[in-house]
């Protein structure tokens, strides 16, 4: 019924100095493709609300991403969702996995488990959720 956002996550790679000595303290680099401007924050990791002050185009993308969180919550039986959606209108970067408290040690400090624990109370369904009957 609506135009589906065509999104993907940024392409990444690992840069390792050559020759590589596994016993050395030499850095290993995480490389990301360049993201052109403008850059948007659609959803954060500390709320299920759409980011404020988005234009109409960005808000449509954010609403779709909010629907995907609902779908992820259902498909993982409430175990995890992806949050902190940001990037361009086509490429997302630096997502945050939100898990239950018992799995939190596997993820960074951005894993705010209360968001997941309160998902049913905090999530506001939108037209995508309604269309897919969730």
pLDDT digits (tens, 9 = 90+) for 94-129: 999 888 877 777 666 677 778 888 999 999 999 999
Q: What is the mean pLDDT of residues 10-31?
A: 87
Set out the domains of the chain in order of their start, with CATH numbers: 8-131 (3.20.200.10)
Position 98 scores a pLDDT of: 87
Residues 6+ apart with CB under 8 A from 127: 1, 2, 63
**Reported pTM:** 0.85
Residue predicted with more confidence, 63 or 111: 63
Q: Which residue has tokens 């954060």?
A: 44
Query: 91 - beta bridge partners?
Result: 8
- Name the pLDDT band for 53 (thresholds 50, 70, 90): very high
Q: What is the mean pLDDT of residues 79-103?
A: 91
Question: What backbone phi and psi angles, to 5 degrees, belong to 47?
Answer: -160, 155
Which residues does residue 102 pair with via DSSP β-bridges, in sequence order?
none
d(CA 9, CA 78): 23
More confident residue, 90 or 22: 90
Dihedral (Cα; 15, 112, 74, 94), 10-degree rounding: -30
Residue 61 has pLDDT above 80, yes or no: yes
pLDDT cut 90: percent of the chain above it: 66
Spell out the residues 6+ positions from residue 116 whose beta carbon is closer than 8 angstroms to its own. 73, 78, 79, 80, 81, 98, 99, 100
């Amino acid at each position: 019924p609506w135009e589906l956002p065509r999104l993907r996550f940024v392409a990444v790679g690992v840069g390792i100095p050559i020759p590589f000595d596994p016993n050395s303290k030499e850095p290993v680099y995480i490389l990301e493709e360049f993201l052109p401007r403008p850059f948007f924050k659609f959803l954060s990791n500390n709320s299920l609300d759409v980011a404020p002050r988005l234009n109409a185009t960005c808000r449509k993308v954010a609403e779709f991403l909010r629907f995907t969180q609902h779908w992820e919550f259902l498909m993982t039986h409430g175990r995890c969702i992806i949050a902190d959606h940001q990037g361009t209108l086509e490429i997302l970067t630096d997502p945050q996995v939100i898990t239950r408290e018992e799995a939190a040690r596997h993820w960074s400090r951005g894993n705010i488990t209360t968001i997941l624990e309160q998902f049913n109370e905090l999530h506001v369904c939108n037209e995508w959720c309604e269309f897919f009957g969730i």
